[in-house]
């Protein structure tokens, strides 16, 4: 296939960025999207030009490091039949002669480091605020020593699959990180181990979310539609219920499981 690429190039976080156009004439439909970028970088290197910087790690749809906006959609969501990470998007989803625009996650909370690479450490700071349990676990307990009702265990597992890629933020008109934050809160809110700090956790993590410049959630739903792990929008409802209860009741006993 022959394709035209329009890629955001930015030398560093302080530089002024812009779109630059490249042509590729040797793209196989069996390539993954990142393999196509590898081919482009090979051409640029041979031409003594600076390769395009982009994030990746597993290339197996597990880590989410590869996230970019493709033709206006995080991870190229609208070019794929199902939500997926960029590394699992294949060139067969495009046609010969297509023009493909590639941009980084453009939001104030994820500043551009270089080209398509952004700094997502704001997510780390939200986790540091409360995405954990303060329990001295010691040695590994027996598998069934702390039973959890199946419904709640299933809900916890559904949201625990969040990989923190940031597609939800990139898709949100307000740049909100509420789907990510709610996934981490809902995960622990549905497990017995998460109950002692449940109210403190939700207040601390929501405060960290706001302090790191993420916008407010208006339940538009774009976040859930582009999530490669299909985190349900209802997790934000769980966050709101826990936050409302914590503000009403104040610090004290843990909230009963819902």
Question: pLDDT per residue over 105-131, tens digit each?
Answer: 989 999 999 999 999 999 999 999 999
- Enter the tokens of residue 221: 């739903």
Contact criterion met (CB below 8 Å) for 177 and 107? no
pLDDT at 13: 92
| Residue 255: pLDDT over 60 | no
- For range 123-142, the mean pLDDT: 84
Contact criterion met (CB below 8 Å) for 101 and 19? yes
What architecture (CATH level 2) is domain 3-113?
Answer: Roll (3.10)
- Enter the tokens of residue 22: 């490249």
- For range 227-245, the mean pLDDT: 94
pLDDT at 257: 40
pLDDT at 54: 98
Closest CA to 157 of 186, 124, 137: 186
| Residue 251: pLDDT over 60 | no
* Rounded CA separation 164/105 (Å): 13
Distances (CA, A) of 44 to 47, 67, 97, 100, 115: 5, 22, 20, 18, 14
Q: What backbone phi and psi angles, to 5 degrees, belong to 237? A: -60, -40
pLDDT at 58: 95
- Enter the tokens of residue 158: 């559904």
Q: Which of 6-10, 77-81, 140-144 shows the highest mean pLDDT?
A: 6-10
For 41-87, the pLDDT digits (tens) are: 999 999 999 999 999 999 999 999 999 999 999 999 887 778 899 99
The answer to whether domain 3-113 and domain 120-134+147-247 are alike in fold is: no
Domain assignments of the chain as residue spans, ordered by start: 3-113, 120-134+147-247
The class of domain 120-134+147-247 in CATH terms is: mainly alpha
* Rounded CA separation 39/36 (Å): 5
Q: How does the average pLDDT of the chain come out, rounded? A: 92
* Rounded CA separation 4/242 (Å): 48
The Cα angle at residue 195 between residues 190 and 198, in degrees rounded to 5? 95
Question: What 3-state class would DSSP assign to 102?
Answer: strand
- For range 141-150, the mean pLDDT: 79
- Enter the tokens of residue 219: 């339940």
Kindly report the pTM of this predicted structure. Answer: 0.90
Closest CA to 39 of 92, 93, 3: 3
How many whole angstroms from its chain centre is CA 48?
33
pLDDT at 11: 96
pLDDT at 77: 84
């Amino acid at each position: 296939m022959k394709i035209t690429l329009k890629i955001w190039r930015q030398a560093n976080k302080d530089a002024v960025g812009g779109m630059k156009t490249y042509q590729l004439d040797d793209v196989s439909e069996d390539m993954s999207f990142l393999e196509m970028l590898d081919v482009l970088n090979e051409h640029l290197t041979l031409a003594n030009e600076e390769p395009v910087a982009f994030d990746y790690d597993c290339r197996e749809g597990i880590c989410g490091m590869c996230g970019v906006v493709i033709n206006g959609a995080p991870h190229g969501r609208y070019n794929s039949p199902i939500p997926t990470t960029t590394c699992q998007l294949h060139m067969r989803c495009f046609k010969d002669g297509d023009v493909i625009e590639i941009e980084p996650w453009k939001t104030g909370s994820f500043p551009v480091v270089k080209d398509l690479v952004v700094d997502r450490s704001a997510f780390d700071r939200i986790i540091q605020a409360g995405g954990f349990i303060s329990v001295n676990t010691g040695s590994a307990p027996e598998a069934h020593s702390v039973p959890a009702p199946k419904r709640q265990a299933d809900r916890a597992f559904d949201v625990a699959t969040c990989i923190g890629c940031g597609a939800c933020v990139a898709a949100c008109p307000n740049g909100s990180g509420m789907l990510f934050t709610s996934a981490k809160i809902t995960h622990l809110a549905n497990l017995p181990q998460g109950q002692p700090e449940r109210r403190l956790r939700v207040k601390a993590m929501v405060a960290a979310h706001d302090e790191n410049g993420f916008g407010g959630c208006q339940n538009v739903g774009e976040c859930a539609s582009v999530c490669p792990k299909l985190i349900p929008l209802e997790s934000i409802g769980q966050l709101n219920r826990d936050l409302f209860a914590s503000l009403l009741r104040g610090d004290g006993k843990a909230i009963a499981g819902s």
